[in-house]
Amino acid sequence: MQFSTRELRDLAVAWLALGFAFSLLYVDVTATTMGDVLTSAPFAEEFLLSLATVGVAFLLHELAHKVVAVRFGQHAEFRADFGMLALAVAGGLAGFLFAAPGAVHHRGYITPREHGLVALAGPVTNVGLAVVSYALMVTVAPELGWRGLFINVLLAGFNMIPFGPLDGRTVLDWSPTAYAAAAVPTIGPALLLFFG
């Protein structure tokens, strides 16, 4: 697996920006100056926790797309969306967050089945990370596990929505049966977790 310098930079920037944006949701940014917030121990703890949960969930989701695309003979690279990353940070400052940090772009000949499997790889990876997170939550690291479970369930479910550029649209275009098999165990739990 090869990574260009630009791709490594984009992955690092997206990982750090997401960690930063999500950590802002868990600290009180109105209580003091932003400089005091950013140098506080609570912010540092939240930043590390966000990097380990949101950041890892996002990175492995995107890398799963890349691994499967390369397996099918594609040239695949992650590209950050710097505008959306800036919006994520601004949203974190405002107390809400929508994150679409970028995507893996691939090119070369690919069948509809292979394209569907490339799309499915990201949400399936998040399901696996959710299982690991649940195990951590009920054993040795409750906070880390809960945060990891929450974000991975949401990422898997959100990405399986069959709309626009989301993974679910590609999977549904390939196979309604495969889509149903993936959507039920991802979208349902995400809705329960988010609204329940």
For this structure, is 7 an active site residue? Answer: no
Judge whether 48 and 16 are in contact, CB under 8 Å: no
The residues, any chain, with a CB within 8 Å of residue 159's CB and separated by 6 or more, are 61, 122, 123, 126, 166, 167, 168, 186
Residues β-bridged to residue 80? 102
> Which residues lie closer than 8 Å to 72 by C-beta, 6 or more apart?
110, 114, 117, 118
Distance of alpha carbon 165 from alpha carbon 121, whole angstroms: 15
Catalytic residue among 7, 45, 46, 62: 62
Return the CA Rg of the chain.
17
Please give the positions annotated as active site.
62
